[in-house]
Amino acid sequence: MQKPLIEIPGKRLCLFLLIGVFALQSAFNPAYAGKSAGDGPYSDTSASASASHIFSITNKLNVYDSLHLKAMGLSKKVFTMALKGMAKLVKTRHIKDNLLAIVDFSQPSINKRLYVIDLNTYQLLYNTYVAHGMKTGKEKAISFSNKMSSNKSSLGFYVTGMAYNGSNGYSLKLLGMEKGINDYAMKRGIVIHGADYVSEDLITSQGYIGRSWGCPAVAPEVSQPLIDLLKEGSCLFIYASNTTYQSKSSFVK
């Protein structure tokens, strides 16, 4: 009888089978593989995957009471909506899990309606003025758009991009994450930048701060440190009392 070309003893056969199973697992399980196709542009896969497991909306809600955000004008409803959207972005590995920036356009522009919160250290890092678009409203932000040349603000969730020096000085790119709501932000040139018209002097003289062409502009003295803090993968949520947005957005449900 002709001998088989290859003889594999029983123990060696088991070893080969185990190696084969592990190889298949590595090929089809993102936990074993490198960066998967669904990874976001700013995340480290292992760090983000870990963050997605530990990001708890219930636990993060404690930050609201701890920082007395109600007394600073931010409602718990808005904070909760921001956490819901952020949790979805963390889960899909688009963002860092600690920094949350909220612009509350339900407040008039004379209020400090930009909040930057470190959810891990329970710190309010910034509470400052922020402008809305020229055609969004005067004292209050009323009308919003995702259209080119509308000079209006756009609502919803953004992920911060790279910082750069442009026509408005040191600026921060914003990637709109909601299709049909703010996904034209990059094409429209919607960025965070410093602007002289964001000032308390204008509040005193005319009753509201100046307005932008749609950008969430801030005071020049805070723009650079704020941008350096938020750049490359932080969550920004721009809110207003707008039922159209709330009915269309999948991030706040």
- State the average pLDDT over residues 119-148: 98
CA 205 to chain centre: 34
Q: Residue 21, Cβ neighbours under 10 Å: how many?
A: 10
Per-residue pLDDT tens digits for 11-65: 444 444 444 434 434 433 333 333 322 223 333 333 444 444 468 999 999 999 9
Per-residue pLDDT tens digits for 58-111: 999 999 999 999 999 999 999 999 999 999 999 987 799 999 999 999 999 999
Question: Are the CB atoms for 74 and 210 separated by under 8 Å?
Answer: no
Q: What is the pLDDT of residue 73?
A: 99
What fold, for 39-248? L,D-transpeptidase catalytic domain-like (2.40.440)
Q: Which residues contact 204 (CB under 8 A, 6 or more apart)?
A: none
Q: What is the pLDDT of residue 14?
A: 44
| Distance from C-alpha of 25 to C-alpha of 111, rounded to nearest angstrom | 54
Q: What is the pLDDT of residue 94?
A: 75
- State the average pLDDT over residues 155-165: 98
pLDDT for residue 1 is more than 90: no
Q: What is the pLDDT of residue 51?
A: 47
| Distance from C-alpha of 28 to C-alpha of 18, rounded to nearest angstrom | 16
Question: What is the pTM assigned to this prediction?
Answer: 0.80
CATH 2.40.440.10 placement within the chain? 39-248
pLDDT for residue 196 is more than 80: yes
Helices and strands of the chain, counted as H and E runs: 9, 7
Tokens encoding 205: 């003289």
